[in-house]
Structure 1
Amino acid sequence: MSSKNPKNQRPPFEKWYSYLLFAFVGYCVADLAILAYRDRMLPQSAPPAHPKAPPPDNYISSGAYNSITTRNIFASSGVIPDALVDKSKGTEQKENEPVPSQLPLTLIGTLVHSNPNKSIAAIEVRGKNQVVSYSPGKDIEGMASIMKVERQKVIFRNLNSNRLEYLEMKKEGNKVAFGGSPKAGAAGGKEVQKVGDNTFAIKRADLLKYTNDLSSILMQARAVPNREPGTGAINGFRILDMQPGSIYEQLGIQRMDVIKSVDGTPVDSPAKAMELYNTLKNSPKVSIQVERNGKNETMTYNIQ
């Protein structure tokens, strides 16, 4: 009995065998070629070196400090060097002492406070016929800046020349002595005459004698601001004490009176009080509103 041969069957992927063999052979040949030429492919010398930047020079020569050492700044001895000298003039550049001022200003009076910044100087600008009160730090009509207020003297800086100058009150022959009573006049020993209830008469010559020495007048009485209850606003000045026979007593002012206004203008600051006081110079009649024992009264003064 004969048997039939099975049909020849080819293995799967047989057609790819030749391609795989060629790829393997090519890989081996490439690897052998690389091994043969590898030495020639490597660099034969080291790359060129890049020069490094030199480090910054932090050294400073001693000559750079000559301006400090020559002026003795930071010296261990603690000795303060001399002031700089203007060689062109040969004089030291330092603050000079104040000199008498030639500005068109007249010092009328000063009120020196325990706090220097609250001191006041009443100054008349000649030609304008007005008296204005200034405190330290204020400018006078663009001409000067107040530096310090002293008794009968004010020091300021001239804004044009930038130098220190001063004004002093004029020395008058008829002055009110400090700490004493004013000099008695010819009429009954008083310059102020009472001619009616709260009405007085005073000669202009006698009035000018007092207003020309305002600082002396301010020393004859002690006053404090009188404030409104609740708000604390100043509504006048209360006279706490005065010298016997002083001008205040002659004007009919009594202890504990509150001077509230002059000719209807409220007296709500020391500066305003000084300004109003100087209006007496040219006024034919002045009225002062006073609060006395809780009641308002008007004191009238006729300037003869």
Structure 2
Amino acid sequence: MIKISNKYFWLFNLLFVAGAAWFVCQISILFIQDRLKTSPPLGPGQGSAFKAEKPQAYERYGTIPERNIFNPSERGLKLIPLGDRRAGKRPKNMEAAQLSSSGSLRLVGTVTSQSGRGWAILQEEKDRKQRLYPIHGRVDDGKIVNIARDKITIQSGGKNEVLALSSDKVAGSPPSKPTTSAKEKEAVQKLSTNRFVVNREDVVGMVGNINQFMTQARIKPHFVSGRPGGFAISEIVPGSFFEKIGLRNQDVIKKVNGQPVNKPEEIFQAYSQLIRDSNIELEIERNHQSEVLRYEIR
């Protein structure tokens, strides 16, 4: 009997350990269940314990669109807070990111490309402020769906509205002789190789229609190692404004008043400076060398 007990003692040991482990597990389960408390069911009149976060004031996030690091041409625009949008109101002192009505807008010019990209320059008749809009850009409650050389199409409320260049701007002087008047001959005075005096009144008259202005030369993006490096000028019409201000074929415009010019909206800003500012410095690359052309606009 003793021999049998010794022979199977390990089996009794194993059963004892297994039983002890099972007993400890059961005690642990009972202990945990006692500590856990089930939340009482919500009554019919009770809602969720979590409350919706209160909407933040516009000032908390308004600086994001105003700085607009992704589209410099629309810096300063403001979003419409959701509450005001539902009520059909706009924030006070809000600069028109979406202009009031196409009836109060005038198409100043367009920029088109073979790739299908395009931009429209619209002017608010009230304050005569001009803005650059890309294709598919928002204008009030509509969207620009097509940009052609002399017109754009705005889709609003399921209808298409065509906004064309003003007839007086389109007609003007014959395109074959855009720069031969006596006034234009006096528009630019050359003081030295890189210094010029430009008559503001004559310049405003010449560049008032950007489409006609851009027929005097061909401007296309210039790339260096695959990256934008300004805009190259070619096919300058002899005797045109471009030639009078000292530009030559194959020149590359790099900077205007120290600011790089790599995007269409930056070209538009430079175009606006030509009309508005009194002194302009144009940094160009000519024959792989940098030169600066200086203009005084009177």
Q: TM-score, normalised to structure 2's length?
A: 0.59
Supply the AA of the counterpart residue of 1:234. Answer: P
The 5 Å alignment of 1:233-272 reads 233-272=227-266
Supply the AA of the counterpart residue of 2:152. Answer: V
Distance, in Å, in 2 between the alignment partners of 1:280 and 1:223 is 16
Q: CA deviation at 1:206?
A: 0.8
Secondary structure of 1:200's counterpart equals strand
Number of equivalent positions: 197
The 5 Å alignment of 1:47-58 reads none
Distance, in Å, in 2 between the alignment partners of 1:287 and 1:129 is 26
* Residue of structure 2 equivalent to 1:227: 223
Deviates further, 123-132 or 284-293: 123-132
Pair 102,110 (structure 1): closer, same or farther in 2 beyond 3 Å = closer
Pair 202,223 (structure 1): closer, same or farther in 2 beyond 3 Å = same
Distance, in Å, in 1 between the alignment partners of 2:261 and 2:176 is 26
Check the 8 A contact 1:124/1:131 in 2, yes or no.
yes
Secondary structure of 1:242's counterpart equals coil
Pair 1:156-2:154 in alignment: yes
More helix by share: 2
* Residue of structure 2 equivalent to 1:40: none
Pair 162,263 (structure 1): closer, same or farther in 2 beyond 3 Å = farther
Q: CA deviation at 1:275?
A: 3.1
RMSD between superposed Cα atoms in Å: 2.4
Check the 8 A contact 1:184/1:191 in 2, yes or no.
no
Q: CA deviation at 1:287?
A: 1.6
Bigger relative contact order (CA 8 A; separation at least 6): 1
Pair 186,128 (structure 1): closer, same or farther in 2 beyond 3 Å = closer
Supply the AA of the counterpart residue of 1:277. Answer: Y
Q: TM-score, normalised to structure 1's length?
A: 0.58
Supply the AA of the counterpart residue of 2:217. Answer: A
Pair 1:182-2:199 in alignment: no
Pair 1:275-2:273 in alignment: no
Secondary structure of 1:261's counterpart equals strand
Distance, in Å, in 2 between the alignment partners of 1:265 and 1:274 is 13
Pair 280,143 (structure 1): closer, same or farther in 2 beyond 3 Å = farther
Describe the superposition over 1:4-25 as per-residue Cα deviations: whole angstroms up to 9, x where unpaired.
xxxxxxxxxxxxxxxxxxxxxx
Q: CA deviation at 1:113?
A: 1.6
Pair 1:136-2:126 in alignment: no
* Residue of structure 1 equivalent to 2:209: 213
* Residue of structure 1 equivalent to 2:293: 299
Pair 143,185 (structure 1): closer, same or farther in 2 beyond 3 Å = farther
Aligned sequence identity (%): 25
| Bigger-Rg structure (1/2) | 1
Pair 127,276 (structure 1): closer, same or farther in 2 beyond 3 Å = farther
Distance, in Å, in 2 between the alignment partners of 1:157 and 1:203 is 40
Secondary structure of 1:103's counterpart equals helix
Q: CA deviation at 1:169?
A: 2.4
* Residue of structure 2 equivalent to 1:55: none
Q: CA deviation at 1:205?
A: 1.4
Q: CA deviation at 1:256?
A: 0.9
Q: CA deviation at 1:211?
A: 2.2
The 5 Å alignment of 1:55-134 reads 102-116=102-116, 118-126=117-125, 130-134=129-133
Secondary structure of 1:298's counterpart equals strand
Distance, in Å, in 1 between the alignment partners of 2:181 and 2:233 is 23
Check the 8 A contact 1:132/1:275 in 2, yes or no.
no
